[in-house]
Amino acid sequence: MFIETELKLSLAPEYAEQLMQHPLLQSASHSLLSQHLYNTYFDTSKCELLQYGVGLRVRHIGDKRVQTLKTTGVAHGGLHQRQEWENEITGDIPNYSQFPKDVLPAVCAKKPKKIKGLFTTDFIRITWNLSLDDGSKIEVALDQGEIKTQTASIPLNEVELELKAGTPEVLYKVALNLQKTLPLFIENKSKAQRGYALYQPQPIQFYKAGAVKLSADITTEQAFIHIIWHCIEQMQANEDMVLYGEDIEGVHQMRVATRRLRSCLNFYKPLIPKEIYKKIGNEIKWFADVLGVARDWDVFALNLQNIQAPHRTAYYQEIEDLKTQVADFQRQAYVTVHNALRSPRYSCLLLSLGKWLSQRRWRRNLDTIALQHLDGSVKNFASQRFKSYFQQVRQKGKHFSQLNFEQLHALRIAVKKMAYGCHFFADIYSQKTVRSYAQNLSLIQDELGVFNDMYVATDLLNQAGLDENAPARHFFNGWYTHQQVVQQVSLKAAWQNFLDENIFW
DSSP state for residue 113 in the 8-state scheme: G
The answer, yes or no, to whether residue 467 has pLDDT greater than 90, is no
Q: Of the ranges 143-157, 278-292, 319-333, 356-370, which one carries the lowest mean pLDDT score?
A: 356-370
* Alpha-helical segments (H) within 30-134: 48-52, 107-110
Task: Please give the class, per CATH, of domain 220-500.
Answer: mainly alpha
Tens digit of pLDDT for each residue in 58-108? 999 888 999 999 877 665 666 766 788 899 999 899 998 888 887 888 888
Q: What is the mean pLDDT of residues 291-301?
A: 95
The answer, yes or no, to whether residue 27 has pLDDT greater than 90, is no
pTM, two decimals, is 0.89
Pick from 26, 22, 65, 24: which is nearest to 42 by CA? 65
C-alpha–C-alpha distance, residues 247 and 260, integer Å? 21
Give the model's pLDDT for residue 103.
81
Tens digit of pLDDT for each residue in 110-162? 888 889 999 999 999 999 999 988 899 999 999 999 999 999 999 999 999 99
Residue 304 identity (one-letter amino acid): L
Tens digit of pLDDT for each residue in 350-391? 999 999 999 888 888 888 999 999 999 999 999 999 999 999
C-alpha–C-alpha distance, residues 3 and 165, integer Å? 12
Judge whether 235 and 261 are in contact, CB under 8 Å.
Answer: yes
Residue 377 identity (one-letter amino acid): S
For residue 82, the cross-strand partners are 4
Give the model's pLDDT for residue 275.
78
* Domain coordinates in residue numbering, the chain: 2-199, 220-500
Q: What is the mean pLDDT of residues 242-258?
A: 96
Higher pLDDT, 484 or 237: 237
The answer, yes or no, to whether residue 1 has pLDDT greater than 60, is no
User: Do β-strands 137-148 and 2-10 pair in parallel, antiparallel, or remain unpaired?
Assistant: unpaired
Residue 466 burial (CB count, 10 A): 19
Q: What is the mean pLDDT of residues 240-262?
A: 96
Tens digit of pLDDT for each residue in 70-82? 877 665 666 766 7
**3-state SS of the chain: helix, strand, coil percent to 5?**
55, 20, 25
Give the model's pLDDT for residue 218.
93
Q: What is the mean pLDDT of residues 18-31?
A: 85
Q: Which fold has domain 2-199?
A: Hypothetical Protein Pfu-838710-001 (2.40.320)
C-alpha–C-alpha distance, residues 502 and 433, integer Å? 8
The answer, yes or no, to whether residue 431 has pLDDT greater than 80, is no
CA angle (62, 66, 72) in 5-degree steps: 130
Q: What are phi and psi of 415, to 5 degrees?
A: -65, -40
Give the model's pLDDT for residue 5.
86
Pick from 440, 447, 408, 413: which is nearest to 504 by CA? 440
DSSP state for residue 280 in the 8-state scheme: H
C-alpha–C-alpha distance, residues 455 and 459, integer Å? 7
